[in-house]
Structure formats: C-alpha cells, structure tokens
Chains A and B, each alone.
Chain A
Amino acid sequence: MPRQGHRPVAVVSFAQADNVRRELRRNEVETLMPVFAEVFSNIGITKDDVGFICSGSTDYLAGGPFSFVSALDAIGVWPPRTESHVEMDGAWALYEAWVRLQEGDIDAALVYGFGKSSMSDLSKVLALQLDPYVLAPLWPDPVSVAALQARSLLDAGKATERDFAEVAARSRKAALSNPKAQVAYDRNVAELMGEDYVVSPLRTHTLPPITDGAAAIVLAAGDKAFEWAERPAWITGIDHRVETHSLGARDLTASASTTKAAEVAGVNDGTVEVAELHAPFAPQELIVAAALGLGDDVLVNPSGGALAANPIMSAGLIRIGEAASRIMDGSAGRVVAHATSGPALQQNLVAVLEGV
C-alpha cells in the first residue's frame, strides 16, 4: 500500500490509440475521442466522474501556441472542469494529477498524452529542446545525441553493440504479442548486427519508430478505486528528477536522476516482477535498468517498449499504463514503470505499482 502520508491513488483504466507512422485522416481531437471513450467505458464511467483533467503534449508539433487547449474538445468540458497541462510526456501529467489527488477534495482524475510526430521533422523539433545558445544552433538531432551516449557506453566497457542488438531483438519479439505495436518482428541478433549504421554506433534496429499516437489513464483514490476496478494498480511510490541540460557535464553512461527517483519511489523495497522502461534507443534500456538496480529475473518491457512504438508525449504514459495493466489483469503483483524526457535520458520519472 502507499507509503506513509500519501493518500492511496491507483490506476484503474488505461487505453491507447493505434500507434502509426502517419495518421493522415484524424487530427488530435479525433485521435483522442475513441481513446477517451475506451478509457471511460472500461470501468463504466463518464467524463462527469472525474474532478481533474491533466494532459501532456508539445505545441512544437502542431506549430501553434496553446494548441493543447483544443484537445479538450475531445472530452467536451461542460460544465467547466479544473484542467491543467504540461509541455511534457503524459507521465508527468499523471504525476501532477497524483499530486492533485493528494489534496483529498476530489477522488478521480483523467490523464492523457498525445502527439502527431508526422506533422513535422522530429530531428529538427527535438533539437529545439536543447540549450538555445550553444547546442540548438548546431542542430544535433536526437539520433546523434543518442549515438554519443551509446559511444560513451561502449568506451566505458559497460556494453557492446551486440548488447544493443539483443535489446532490440527481444523488444521487437515481445511486441509481436502487443496488438498496439507499430514495429514487431522475430529476427536474430546476427541479422540485426548486419544492418548499416544510421549514425554510428547506432544501427537501424537500435532506433525507435516515429509514431503518431495518444493514450489515457484514469486515476482513482481510496474507495473509488475499488468501486471502479477489481484489481486497482496502486501507485505506492512515484518520483521524478532532472539532470543538467549540459550534455558534456553529465556521465552519459549512467542515469543519476533515475537512480534518485527509484530510491524515493522505493523500487527496491520489494520484489520487482515486471518493468516497463521508456528507453527510446536500445542502449538506453541498459542504462535505465542498471540505474533502477533491476535484477536479471525482472521481465523488462513485455509490451516491446518504446522500440515497438514511440508516440511522442505519450510513450512514457503508456509505460505506466502497460505496467498497471499487468497488475489489473492479475499477472503481476508488483511492477515498475519509467518515463524519460529530454536528450539522452536527461529527466526521468519512476513509479512503483502494486496490487493488493
């Protein structure tokens, strides 16, 4: 159950859109509408049953300030509802909603994340999240930044290129049983190692797909969670930490912020059965798993993780949803979810979820 002093809050419903390379016909509102319908109907509630709404998205994709406000049309917020937004992955919107529920005056919240990567060039858009004076003018794209991190890992002797391929092979194979996966295959490591470099030392298989998508979660507190779900996934620990924006001032082979968040969330206060890690690039999974202190017996990314589908601004929230689903479906008793934001794992959120 929740750590001392925290009001018990649980994930009680999760839904996600189909993850696709290019969603041509539906805009963000039209993408979100069926996701909301599903996340509410899973537990037989309506929008009127949640007291708070929080979303995560980025205006840089749509190319208009406050474009996230229009996404509320997918809910139809009348009468007016308290609502908030983070220019971050929906996992951080979930964190805000969790904090809001600690206030005690409302019992449920809707959290969602969405983004259409296909409307712009992510290699440019994501370069703009870097320092605007000394980094962004050089346009280091996300693949290049991840490649610098991967090289550091190789140089430090912490991993090999074969290790990267093994992460990719295992993730894409697991994704074969995930109906929402965008990239799933059963290919052996030797075959993957034969691929060309995109930006060395990263070959094609180490990269996440570019994805249009959306996801939503309903959080409920206390008795309300048991009223709506047979097996709520109780959030027994949650924390997030950030490191410096200066890439050259960080140890790129480790994730100090993940380790700190894991400590505060209490990851190793019990056995971890399943971990859903938001590691868009294959080498990053090795860094995050080590930072969390996960043992070899932990089932990592049974969904295929972000290598199977990486919808910008919801891939982290989906990790929480997938991990919570393992509790809600009764297949696990204690799981960990991780979300990342920023270049080269700059900021990390860790949540522990448990059944009762």
Chain B
Amino acid sequence: MADSADDVLTSAHVLEYPYSRSVGPVIGAFLTGLRDGKIIGATGSGGVVIVPPTEYDPYTAEPTGEMVEVGPEGTVESWAWVGTPAPQHPLETPFAWVLVRLDGAGTSMLHVLDAPSPDAVSTKMRVRADFVAEGERIGRIQDIRAFVPAGSA
C-alpha cells in the first residue's frame, strides 16, 4: 500500500494529559533547590548521594535520608550528539545529551550540554550547570538552561 493514498481520510488529533501532580518532599526539595539556583541530592544507602533525588534508594529500596547540595560542576559520564534538534528539545542549536555526575553525587543526571560541536565534547570532560536568570526560575528541570564546559564564560 502506498503512503500517499489520496482516498484515505486523515485528520489531526491533539492529545494532552493535563494532570496536576504533587511532587512530594524529595523531588519537591530538588525542584525548589533549582528555583534557588542549587542542585540538591538525597543521601541513599551507604551514603551514596542520588541526583536527581528519589524517595527510595534505587538499589536497596530503603528510604533516602539527608538532602545535600551537589555541583554545580561535574563530570560527563556519557554523551550523545544531536545534530538536528527537534522542536521539543531544550536547545534550538545542535547540542549533546549528557549524563553528568555532579561533584558530590554518586549517580548521574541527564541534561543537555551547550557545546559548539561534537569535537568539543568528550567523556570525563568537566562541565557546570548554567541556570536561567534569578526571577525567571520557577522550580523545574529547565531552570538549568543547559550544562556548559567548565571554565567557559
């Protein structure tokens, strides 16, 4: 069957799931931290700091404990270069997805790295969180605009 079948009636169907969620004490603290320009993790079993924090340790399922500040610098653990960003992606220009292990954290966090080309990106490179301006942050993951190479302006 051809894709361009003129006799097939099609129409757009826009679907939304407009749920309101309560984020709770742990993710809530993380998002509130972002609003304040800080990255907060939760201490899991054996003292491993989990970032982004979860209410339960992902390995032992024990409740997590003390919330601690990590970063804002960290190390790239893995990356993937997006040469053609999609409209829904956080950056309009080519960028890298990165898993960043923030200083003080025992797990990695997914975000985007604003870098000029894949040649400027490598595993183990040092990066830092670049927050959107104070007053424009509302307590969401996008309060971090992107990560940028550490030491850059």
Residues from chain B with a CB closer than 8 A to the CB of A151 are: 78-80, 123
Residues from chain B with a CB closer than 8 A to the CB of A23 are: 1
Known: A199-B82, A248-B108. A24 touches B5 (CB 8 A): yes
Identify B50's interface contact among A24, A60, A249, CB under 8 A: A249
Contact A138–B1 (Cβ < 8 Å):
no
Q: Which of A101-109, A127-135, A217-225, A322-330 contacts B (4 or more CB under 8 A)?
A: A127-135
B77 to chain A, nearest CB (A): 7
Residues from chain B with a CB closer than 8 A to the CB of A200 are: 80-81, 83, 118
Contact A148–B97 (Cβ < 8 Å):
yes
Contact B81–A199 (Cβ < 8 Å):
yes
A131 to B31, CA, bound (A): 14
B23 adjacent to chain A (CB < 8 Å): yes
B88 adjacent to chain A (CB < 8 Å): yes
Contact A140–B77 (Cβ < 8 Å):
no
A68 to B108, CA, bound (A): 36
A181 adjacent to chain B (CB < 8 Å): no
A246 to B44, CA, bound (A): 14
Q: Can you report 10 A-B residue pairs in the complex whose CB atoms are below 8 A from each other?
A: A120-B15, A133-B21, A133-B23, A139-B86, A139-B90, A141-B86, A144-B82, A152-B78, A200-B83, A248-B109
Residues from chain A with a CB closer than 8 A to the CB of B118 are: 200
B29 to chain A, nearest CB (A): 12
Residues from chain A with a CB closer than 8 A to the CB of B8 are: 24-25
Contact A248–B77 (Cβ < 8 Å):
yes
Identify B3's interface contact among A24, A144, A197, CB under 8 A: A24
Identify B80's interface contact among A127, A134, A139, A199, CB under 8 A: A199
A311 to chain B, nearest CB (A): 16
Chain B: residues with CB nearer than 8 A to chain A? 1, 3, 5, 8, 10, 13, 15, 21, 23, 27, 30-31, 50-52, 54, 58-59, 77-83, 86, 88-90, 97, 99-101, 107-112, 118, 123, 140-142
Contact B141–A139 (Cβ < 8 Å):
no
Question: What residue in chain B is nearest A244 (Cβ atoms)?
Answer: B58
Residues from chain A with a CB closer than 8 A to the CB of B90 are: 138-139
A133 to B54, CA, bound (A): 11
Residues from chain A with a CB closer than 8 A to the CB of B80 are: 144, 147-148, 150-151, 199-202
B99 to chain A, nearest CB (A): 5
Residues from chain B with a CB closer than 8 A to the CB of A134 are: 27, 30, 52, 109-110, 141
A354 to B140, CA, bound (A): 51
Known: A148-B80, A155-B123. A247 touches B140 (CB 8 A): no
Identify B107's interface contact among A141, A152, A199, A246, CB under 8 A: A246
A119 to chain B, nearest CB (A): 8
Contact B112–A138 (Cβ < 8 Å):
yes
Question: What residue in chain A is nearest B97 (Cβ atoms)?
Answer: A144
A133 to B58, CA, bound (A): 16
Residues from chain A with a CB closer than 8 A to the CB of B1 are: 20, 23-25
A252 adjacent to chain B (CB < 8 Å): yes
A201 to chain B, nearest CB (A): 7
Residues from chain B with a CB closer than 8 A to the CB of A247 are: 99, 108, 110
Residues from chain A with a CB closer than 8 A to the CB of B111 are: 138
Tell me which of B3, B78, B79 has the highest count of chain A C-beta atoms within 10 A of its own C-beta. Answer: B78
Contact B79–A246 (Cβ < 8 Å):
no
Question: What residue in chain A is nearest B142 (Cβ atoms)?
Answer: A137
4 pairs of A and B residues whose beta carbons are closest in the complex: A248-B108, A147-B80, A244-B58, A63-B15
A162 adjacent to chain B (CB < 8 Å): no
